[in-house]
Structure 1
Amino acid sequence: MDYSGKVVVITGASSGIGEQSAEKFAKLHANVVLVSRNEKRLQEIATKLSKYNIEAFAYACDISNKDQVDKMGKIIIEKFGKIDVLVNNAGFGIYNTVEKTKINEMESQISTNFLGMMYCTKTFLQKMLEQRSGHIVNVASVAGSIGIPGMASYCASKFAMLGFSESLFHELKGTGVGITVVSPIMVRTNFFNHESFGKMPRYSATSLDSKTVANAVVRAASSPRIEIVVPQIVRFVIWLKQTFPYLINPIVGEIFRKSVKSKLD
């Protein structure tokens, strides 16, 4: 697909899935707006993307701060006059039991992963509706469908993202605006660099490259589907859990309780 002249806003664009998605959209000739708190890194990526002869605009913003997001939206709309794709990708996780996780650590995950997505969506949705075109891509996780011990707040934020997106999906029917959730399994990014993960193995044999997920993000930007699970086969696992919870939950719980115990011992 050719995105010539399109404007794509990507949060969490300073690394991982966000950075790779920005490059893939740039290769398709889209103008990209790179958003994260790390201004220096954003400028480096913007410079790198300039080789594709597109406009890469770096904007430092803490998306958990609604006033900053509101200001960002006004500046971007004023500069470009429109928005075609919004990729809500920013997010992070902290690994610990609920008992030992501090309240501010729980709040910070919800604020960035869920409220940040909601702030950005509200900021740009009205413009999309006026245009009668546009697409929102919310990067969630399989953890938005399966509760993982040690990741309660992160899972809560992604469960919330999935529910919000499903509701909005129905509301947007017939408006020309779409929304699709991308839900990957473990991805090889700096997500696991947080000190809470300690000496745990960072990745499994099934973990994904961020480029693979970025491909799904680009597909999602023009997809009529509500959710794309990466890899697709994992949707069967989600179906099993939702259909036969009394069989699957004990298995999932035991696997992850062992990992939590080994981390905390």
Structure 2
Amino acid sequence: MDFKNKSVLITGASSGIGKQSAIEFAKLDADLILVARRKEKLDELASELEKFNATVLVCQCDVSNKEQVKEMSKTVLEKFDSIDILVNNAGFAIYGSVKDLTIDEIESQMETNYFGMMYCIKSFLPSMLEKKSGHIVNVASVAASFGLPGIASYCASKFAMLGFSEGLKHELHNTGVGITVVSPIMIRTDFFDHPSFEKMPKYSPTSLSSKTVAKAILKAANSSRLEIIVPSVVRSAVWLKHTFPFFINPIIGKSFKKQLDSIK
């Protein structure tokens, strides 16, 4: 897809993958709608994007709040009529066992990671369908395929995102609107700045840069595939897990459980 003058809305745009994706789209002459809770960070990014002569609209919004999403979408659609690409990137994790996490902590991850995605899709999909074009990119994680101790509630939100996307993809057949999930492994961003990760090693040697994932998001915005796993070699691990769960699940579970037990 030629992104020149295409309107691209990115949630969680204030840092990490969202910020880098905005930069990569701006380089290709897209118009940006930047959505996040921290307006000062969005304003900083908007200033940074001025060098690309990009049209930028800043929208302060907590996507876990459906009323705020309604107001945000109203503002966006008044300016752009419809958007061409919706990147649902906002998300976070709280590390800890299910028995130790509060119900509020578990719910908060589902509210942002899953319901936030759904609120945005419900707000912008009708206009995409009306003009018979557009693409939704949902940023999930390899955790959408592996239930892992310590991040069970985060995994649940990403499993939900992937399942929702797969079902919606079938519904969108022959409408002109596409949907693709980007599922990366660990990324070097402020994702791990949450206090619950304090005792964990921040990044593995195989962790990805936000630019690598941003490039995958641009690819996804013009892809007919349901899911793009980053890096692609990890797709073999997902295949093994689904094909030989009785063999793979105990190995993965034991490894991550050991890490969880070690920080208590």
TM range (shorter): over 0.9
Q: Deviations over 1:74-97 (max 9, x none)?
A: 110111122000000000000000
Quick one: distance in 2 between partners of 1:33 and 1:158? 24
Shift of 1:199: 2.1
Q: Is the 1:198–1:263 Cα contact (8 Å) retained in structure 2?
A: no
Q: What 5-or-longer segments of structure 2 have no aligned partner?
A: none
Structure 1: which amino acid aligns with 2:55? E
Quick one: distance in 2 between partners of 1:67 and 1:117? 14
Determine if the alignment matches structure 1 residue 56 to structure 2 residue 53.
Answer: no
Shift of 1:258: 0.8
Quick one: distance in 2 between partners of 1:109 and 1:191? 13
Quick one: distance in 2 between partners of 1:131 and 1:74? 17
Structure 2: which amino acid aligns with 1:68? Q
Shift of 1:2: 2.9
Q: Please give the residue correspondences for 1:161-240 in structure 2 after superposition, counting only pairs within 5 Å.
A: 161-240=161-240
Determine if the alignment matches structure 1 residue 255 to structure 2 residue 255.
Answer: yes
Displaced runs of 4+ in structure 1, greater than 4 A? none
Structure 1: which amino acid aligns with 2:252? V
Shift of 1:246: 0.3
Quick one: distance in 2 between partners of 1:82 and 1:172? 17
TM-score by length of 2: 0.99
Quick one: distance in 2 between partners of 1:168 and 1:68? 24
Counterpart for residue 35 of structure 2: 35
Shift of 1:262: 1.0
Structure 2: which amino acid aligns with 1:36? A
Counterpart for residue 99 of structure 2: 99
Number of equivalenced pairs: 264
What is the root-mean-square deviation of aligned Cα atoms in Å? 0.6
Q: Deviations over 1:52-95 (max 9, x none)?
A: 11111111000000011011111101111220000000000000
Q: Deviations over 1:38-63 (max 9, x none)?
A: 00000000011011111111110000
Quick one: distance in 2 between partners of 1:62 and 1:193? 19
Quick one: distance in 2 between partners of 1:219 and 1:181? 11
Q: What 5-or-longer segments of structure 1 have no aligned partner?
A: none
Determine if the alignment matches structure 1 residue 147 to structure 2 residue 153.
Answer: no
SS in 1 for 2:199: coil
**What is the identity percentage for the equivalent residue pairs of Structure 1 and Structure 2?**
62
Q: Deviations over 1:214-235 (max 9, x none)?
A: 0000000010000000000101
Quick one: distance in 2 between partners of 1:136 and 1:241? 27
Structure 2: which amino acid aligns with 1:102? T
Quick one: distance in 2 between partners of 1:24 and 1:185? 20
SS in 2 for 1:188: coil
Structure 1: which amino acid aligns with 2:76? I
Determine if the alignment matches structure 1 residue 159 to structure 2 residue 159.
Answer: yes
